[in-house]
Structure 1
C-alpha cells in the first residue's frame, strides 16, 4: 500500500481533532455548524467550518474512510496545493447549493407560518402540516383532534401558533455538518479521471467500475434529495453540490492549456 499523502493526512488529523473537541470539550457546532442563511446565527465562515464537524463517530468514520481511500491518488496526481483547492472548492460549493435550496424551502415555510398566524384554524393547521411537517403529523394527531373539536378555544389557537413558529425556528436553526460534500467531490473526480477502475465494495459480491458507481450514487442522492423525507437527516443536496462543483472545476481545469500549479 502506498503511503498516505501529506494533505490527506493533515485533513484526517484536523477532522479527528475537531470531532474530539466538539464531542468532549467545547460545543463547536453551536457556532461553527452551517445553519440557514435566514437564521440569526448564520455566519459566512460556516461555509468552511462546517466541513470539519461531524454529528457522530460513524459520520466521521465514513467520511474519513472516503478521504483515505480516494484522496491520496488525486493528491499525487495534482500535488498538495491543487488538491487542497479542490477539497475546499467542492466543500464550500456543497454548502452553497445546500443553503440555496434551504433558503427556498424555508422562505416558503416562513410564508406559510405568516398565513397561518393570520387565520389560525384547524383546517389551516392540517394544511400546514401536510405540506411542511408530514413527518410529525401523526405525533400531533391528538392535538389536531382537540383543536378541531374546539376551534374557538383561545388556548388551542395560541398553541397552534406557537407550534408553527417553533417549527420554523427549528428548521432555520438545524445545523448541517460534515466533510461529505468534499468527499463526494473527491469521489466524483475519481470517477471522471479513472472511470474504468474496478472497485470492490462491501456487500457487493462483484467489482463495479468507478464511473457506474459514481453515476448510481449521484442519482440516488438526487432522488433522496427530491423525496426529502422528514425523517431523513442526511444533507443529500450537499452531496450533490460536492459532485456538481467537482465536475465544474475539473471541466475548468481541463480547458487550461498548461498546468498552472
Structure 2
C-alpha cells in the first residue's frame, strides 16, 4: 500500500507535460506487451486509434483525430518525441499554466491530423496511397513552435555546448520538415507542419491578447461535465425552537491545524527531500492532495 501511495503521490506532483510523457510511455509499453503476450498482429490495437487518410474511414472513428497522437511506431519515434516534449514543455510551463499547455498540445495534434488528411486527399502526389498517421510529433511541434514564436530571442543551451536563440531552432525544425516531404514519411512531416502552424498562430494571437484556445477549453470542460455526477442535496429537517438560544461561533481551529501540518510537511520536503517523510506523513499529504 505504501509503494502504491508513493507512485500516486509522485504522479500527482508531475507537471502536465510530464504526465503526458508518462501516459504516452505507458500506452507504448502496454501496446507492445499485449501484442507479444497474445501473439497479435502489430497493428491489432493501433488500427482502432490511428488516423486514417480516408475521409470515409475517419467518419466511423472520429476519435482518431486525437488518439493517434498517443501511439508510436518504434522506440526511437517515442523517445525523441518525449525528449522534445520534456524540454519544450518545461519552458512553456514556466510562462503559462497547464490548461493553456493542453490547449496548444491537443489543438496541435488536431491541426496536424487535418493537414495530413487534407494533403492526402488533395495533392496528386499522394492519391492512391493507403496510409495512416500515428505519433505525438504534431502536438509536440505545436508546443515547440509556440515558445519559439512567443519568446523568439530567449536563448537556450544546446547540447551543453553553446547558446542559441529559440527562433533559430523553430526555423531549423520547420525547414527540416519541408525538405523531407518529397524524401520519406511525407504524411508525418505534413502533420508536423500543421502542428507548427497552430503553435505559431496561437502564440501570435496570444501576444495580441486573444486566446484562440479558449473555445476549445470550454468545449472540453462541457463534455467532461456531462459525465460528472451531480451531488444530490441532502434532505433538511427544520426545527422550531420554543426557547431562544444563543450560540457562540468557535474558531475553525481544526482547519488551521490541518493546513499547518501540510505546511510543515512541505517545509520538510524542501529541506530534506520527499524520501525523508515517514509513511504517515506521505499518506497524510496524499490524502490532503485529494481534498
TM-score, normalised with respect to structure 2 = 0.59
CA distance in 2, matches of 1:39, 1:90: 23
Query: 2:47 maps to which residue?
Result: 30
Alignment size in residue pairs: 194
Query: SS at the partner of 2:80?
Result: helix
Residue by residue over 1:7-61, the C-alpha shift from the partner in whole angstroms, topping out at 9 and shown as x without a partner, is 1121011101110122121532111011112453662211100010001111101
> Cα gap change, 1:219/1:39 in structure 2, threshold over 3 Å: closer, same or farther?
same
Query: SS at the partner of 2:16?
Result: helix
Query: 1:185 maps to which residue?
Result: 142
Choose from 127, 152, 169 the match for 1:213.
Answer: 169
Residue pairs, 1:42-81, within 5 angstroms: 43-81=61-99
Could you say which structure has the greater relative contact order, defined with CA pairs below 8 angstroms and 6 or more residues apart? 1
Query: 1:17 maps to which residue?
Result: 26
Query: 1:242 maps to which residue?
Result: 195
> Cα gap change, 1:108/1:59 in structure 2, threshold over 3 Å: closer, same or farther?
closer
Query: SS at the partner of 1:25?
Result: helix
Contact 2:116 2:187 in 1 (8 A): no
CA-CA distance at 1:235 after TM superposition: 0.9
CA-CA distance at 1:6 after TM superposition: 1.9
Larger radius of gyration: 2
CA distance in 2, matches of 1:234, 1:51: 14
Query: 1:194 maps to which residue?
Result: 151
Residue by residue over 1:51-88, the C-alpha shift from the partner in whole angstroms, topping out at 9 and shown as x without a partner, is 10001111101001011111022123211111111110
Contact 2:51 2:58 in 1 (8 A): no
Q: What's the Cα RMSD here?
A: 2.8
